[in-house]
Amino acid sequence: MTGPLQGVRVVELASFWGAWAGRLLADLGADVLVVEPPGGHSTRSFGPFAGDDPHPDRSLWWWYYNTSKRSVVLDLDDPLDADHFRRLVGGAGVVLEAERPGRLAALHLDHPDLRAEQPELVWTSVTTHGRASPRSSGPWTDLTMAAASGLAWLNGYDDHSLPPMRGRGNQTLQITGTHAALATLVALLHRDATGSGQHVDVSAFAACNVTTESGTFAWLVAGETVQRQTGRHASVNPTMDVQVRAADGRYVTTGFLPQDAKDFQALLDWLDELDLRATCPEVVFLQIGVERGGIDVVKERDDPEVIAIFGAARAALVHIAENVAALTFFEGAQHRDLQCGIIFSPDEAYENSHFSARGFQSTIRHDELGRDVRYPGAPFKMSASPWAIRRRPPLVGEHTGEALALGFEAAARSDEQPPPTQGR
């Protein structure tokens, strides 16, 4: 079975801010030709590297953001290559680029130049602040974007002498790329219905600004500013700590605290199973919670007994967590219908039996290295047109010859290769 975007042809100019969008489209089945400058795109110099060998074809950063694409090397400043670029665009339905505003116009390769001949073309421009903003010509990184857009303000510790925190994983470019892919598909659906293409202007700054939950709506609605806290939502008023170091040193989160009688009973039974009831503080209030038939901590917040019961449930979860391994706590709580979590490192989640049972591990052959490589799998499982990594990330200019000779036609031939294996 082929992906949902089978037959969609995309010319992508290799970039930092647009790479994730291209990958999303490629893994969903689009034929994405990523155009790199001679020597390969600068993100190929980003580590980590396979075997710690800083070779442009071994950048794991490049691998992560460029699965399923083909690579064509073109020097857009060279008129001959600029013609090749025009020809490739002529066979494409979508252009995806994240060039600084003005660069393509100076080369007469911008969307007004090319869409004039090709009104059905969808042209997606990704910039840091929108095509019209002078700030899109400035230097921006994942960190400064997280700081500027409000993301960083929300993360950190109760101790405010410690700085706000960025998250790992290049999240600002993934937020941006996801929005670029979304808007491109909206334009594609319109094109499929009417035959008309259009220009799509995507702003990283705008995308991150609207990915801040109460960091934005608390201000918009109530003029309030939330403050960061360790391991839980930033909040206008401080809330109770939810993060606990389990007996094996790993952390868990107590999640939503229970309020139903059946949950209080489950906690009592769990304490008994572990022989921890005697050492659990305020356990008598759990029993009262059962006898009351549960509590509603919002409606009954003025009742001291309700607050004591709520606190006892939290104390019981903390007590259990401190006495068992993190995974035991997480699975034990969830089997008892309590919404708790474990703080896995990414590699632990990847090896966890649930994720592997669902086939999340995607094994792709890297012939050039003589080995298989395990990649992360689908963001969602489509029953009729599945997501798949259709080819390993391309070597620098690996497909230049076939693309310049055949345009997009070469894809059909390449698709005859046996599909990569999914799962283990």
Partner 1 sequence: MSQATALGHVTICDLSGQLAGAGATRYLAAFGARVIRVEDPVRQGRWDILRGSMPHVDERRGIELGGAFNNHNVEKLGVTINLRLEAGRDLLRRLVAVSDVVTENFASGVMEKLGFSYGELRSIKSDVIYVSNSGFGHAGPYSRFKTFGPVVQAVCGLTFGVGAAGAPPAGWGFSYMDHMGADLMALAVLSALVHRNRTGEGQWVDMSCTEAGLGLTGPDLLDYTVNGRPLRRPGMPDSNHSDHPVMVPHGIYPTEEPDRWVAIACRDDQDWAAFAEACDQHWAREARFAATAGRADHEAQLDRLVSGWTSSLRREVVASRLERAGVPVSAVTMSEDRIEHDPDNDDWGLFPTVEHPEIGGVRVDGIPAHLSETDWSIKRGAPLLGQHNREVFAGLLGMSDEELSALQADGVL
265/355 with CB nearer partner 1: 355
Of 127, 147, 149, the closest CA to residue 138 belongs to 127
Is 280 one of the binding residues for partner 1 (CB under 8 A)? Answer: no
Cβ atoms of residues 31 and 408 within 8 Å: yes
CA dist., res. 364 & res. 371, Å (int):
9
List 108, 120, 162, 279, residue binding partner 1 (CB under 8 A): 162
Are 226 and 218 in contact, with CB atoms under 8 Å apart?
Answer: yes
- The amino acid occupying position 252 is V
* Contact set for partner 1, span 365-384 (CB under 8 A): 373-384
**Rounded CA gap, 182 and 401, in Å?**
31
CA distance linking residue 310 with residue 296, whole number of Å: 9
Q: Interface with partner 1 includes 145 (CB under 8 A)? A: yes
Verify binding: residue 48, partner 1, rule CB under 8 A: yes
* Site membership for partner 1, residue 260 (CB under 8 A): no
CB closer to partner 1 out of 188 and 313: 188
Interface with partner 1, residue 181, by CB under 8 A: yes
Closest-CA residue to 31 (of 422, 402, 305, 424): 402
Closest approach of partner 1 to the CB of residue 109, in Å: 18
Nearer to partner 1, 7 or 401 (CB): 7
Q: How far is the CB of 339 from partner 1 (least distance, A)?
A: 5
Binder to partner 1 among 80, 106, 221, 278 (CB under 8 A)?
221
Between CA 412 and CA 419 the distance in angstroms is: 13
Pairing status of strand 341-342 against strand 362-366: unpaired
How many residues in the shown chain lie near partner 1 by CB under 8 A?
147
Q: Which is nearer to partner 1, 15 or 214 (CB)?
A: 214
Task: Choose between 39 and 79: whose C-beta lies nearer to partner 1.
Answer: 39
Q: Which is nearer to partner 1, 80 or 221 (CB)?
A: 221
Binding of partner 1 by 274 (CB under 8 A): no
> Interacting stretch for partner 1, rule CB under 8 A, among 75-83, 241-249, 268-276, 283-291?
241-249
> Which residues, listed in sequence order, are joined to residue 35 by a DSSP beta bridge?
13, 72
122-127 vs 94-97, strand pairing mode = parallel
Dihedral sign, CA of 309, 315, 318, 324? negative
| The only residue of 87, 230, 401, 419 in contact with partner 1, by rule CB under 8 A | 230
Distance in Å, CB of 282 to partner 1, minimum: 24
Nearer to partner 1, 348 or 402 (CB): 348
**Site residues (CB under 8 A) for partner 1, limited to 327-356:** 330, 334, 337, 339-350, 353-355
- Output the smallest distance, CB 60 to partner 1, in A: 4
- Residue 17 in contact with partner 1, rule: CB under 8 A: no
Helix (H, G, I), strand (E, B) or coil at 335: helix
Nearest residue to 320 (alpha-carbon basis) of 305, 309, 331, 307: 331
DSSP 76-130: TTSHHHHHHHHHHHHT-SEEEE-PPTTHHHHTT-SHHHHHTT-TT-EEEEEESS-
